[in-house]
Amino acid sequence: MKEVRTRFAPSPTGFMHLGGVRTALYAWLFAKKNGGKFILRIEDTDQKRYVEGAVEVIYETLRECGLNWDEGPYIQSRRRDEYLKYAKELVKKGEAYYCDCDGENCECGGLSLTSGIIRQRVTGEGKTSFNDEIYGVITVENSEIEEQVLIKSDGMPTYNFANVIDDHFMNITHVIRGNEFLSSTPKHVLLYKAFGWEPPVYIHCAQIMRDSSHKLSKRDGDAYFSDFRDKGYLTEAIINYIALLGWSPKGALAEREIFSLEELVEAFDAGGISKSPAIFDRDKLKAINAHYIRSMPPEKFTELAKPYIPKADVDYGVLCAALQQRTEVFSDIPPQTDFIERACDYEIGLYDNKKMKTSPETALQALNAALEILGNGLFSRDALYGGFKETAEKSERKIGWYLYPLQIALTGKSAAPGGGLDICVILGKDESLTRIKQAIKKIIVKQSH
C-alpha cells in the first residue's frame, strides 16, 4: 500500500494564522493516523510578500504545538531552476507558452516568442473535474479557467505552478488545505494532466470565521496563534480547540471535547471534517483552557503563573493554590494580584456587606481584633484560623464578620484569591500588620470628617 504523505506549505508572510495552524494540525494528524510522513515546505516564491523572521515563526510555532515534521523544511526559492526546467518542458509539449504581458490575461497570444514569462495554455473546450473528499466532484468549464502565469518575469515560479511540481516530486498523496484553494485546483489538475501525472487526493477545509459574515481579523486580535499565547492561553488548549473547529469526532467520542495530541491522532478521521465554516467561539476556547489549567500539577501552574504576578516577597505556593481554581487564562491573574505591591485604593463604604453584617464601624472592631490575633503566637494559616474562630465564638459572631474586613484591609478589594486568611499568609506577618494599621487609620480619618 502506498505510504501516506501530507504536507504543510505556508508562505512566510508574517505570524501564523489560526487557520494555518489548523491546516498543519489536520495534515499532521492524518499522516500520523495512517502511519505516514508529514512534510514541511516553505512557499516563498512571492518575494514581495516575504517577511523577515516569518520562517522562524513557522518553525517555532509548529515545534511548540508538537507538530514536528518528518521531512524538510524544503525552501521553494532555492529550487527555482527546477521549476523553470519543467515549465520549459510544458512549452515544448505545447501546454504552455512564452508571453510578454504582465496582466492576468494574455493579449499577445505568445506568437513566436522564445522568452518572457511562461503561461499555461488552456483550451477553451471541454471541462475539468476533480474529486474532493469533503465537497465531492467539482467540475469547471475550461473556458472559465484563465491561462495562468507559471514562471514570472523575475524567473520565480508562481504559487500554483511550484505547488504542483513539489507535490508531485515529494510524493504527496493527500493535499489538506483551506477551501480558498478550491478555485485554484482545476488549474492544478490541468497541470497534472499536461505532465501525465496522477493528482493527489484533495481535502479542502472550510474557513474559520469570527461570526457568520466576518473572518478572523488581526485588527480584532483573534487571527494569529501568537495572539492567544500572548493572552495567556495554553498551547495544548489552543490545539485541542482548533482541532474541533470544523472537525467532529465520531462514535463513542462524539460528545467529547478534551483531547491530548496523542488522543487526537487516535480519533482523527478526515470524514469528520465539515463543509460548513467553523465559527470561532472564544468562550469555548476559554472553557477548554480553564480545564487544562485546573488539571495541571500545582508546581506547573506556579511556574507558568509567576510571570503574571508582581515580583514581591510573598508566599507563591499559597497564592498560586488560591489562583489556580480562579484562573481561566493566565491573563486573568494580574487583575487578581494587583494588591501584592500595595493595597488597592478603596472607599470605606466597601466594608458595608449585608450578608456578612459588616460596616465601617464593625470593621474597626474586627480589624483591632485582627491586630491582636496576628500579634500573638504562631503565624500560620491554621494558627490564624484558630485565633479568629475562638474570637468569633466568644463574641457570638460568624468568622466572616472578621475575615471580610480583613480581606478588604489587606487588598482593598471585596473579592481576592483565597480570602483574608490566605492573604495574610501570602503577604506575611509584617506586611499584613502594616496594612491593617493603615486600614484602621483610614476608617478613623474618614469617620471624623
Active site residues: 218
Identify the H or E element spanning 41: strand 37-42
How far apart CA 60 and CA 225 sit, in angstroms, is: 11
Three-state DSSP class for residue 209: strand
How, if at all, do strands 37-42 and 71-75 pair?
parallel
How far apart CA 116 and CA 91 sit, in angstroms, is: 12
Phi and psi dihedrals of 62, rounded to 5? Answer: -60, -45
How far apart CA 365 and CA 378 sit, in angstroms, is: 22
Identify the H or E element spanning 177: strand 174-178
46 and 66 in contact (C-beta within 8 Å)?
A: no
CA 182 to chain CA centroid, nearest Å: 25
- Which among 409, 288, 400 has a CA at the least distance from the CA of 343? 409
How, if at all, do strands 149-151 and 136-141 pair?
unpaired
Alpha helices in 258-358 (DSSP H): 261-267, 282-295, 298-305, 316-324, 333-336
How far apart CA 365 and CA 440 sit, in angstroms, is: 9
Three-state DSSP class for residue 268: coil
How far apart CA 312 and CA 316 sit, in angstroms, is: 9
366 and 358 in contact (C-beta within 8 Å)?
A: yes
How far apart CA 413 and CA 287 sit, in angstroms, is: 26
Counting Cβ atoms within 10 Å, is residue 264 exposed (0-12), middle (13-18) or buried (19+)? buried
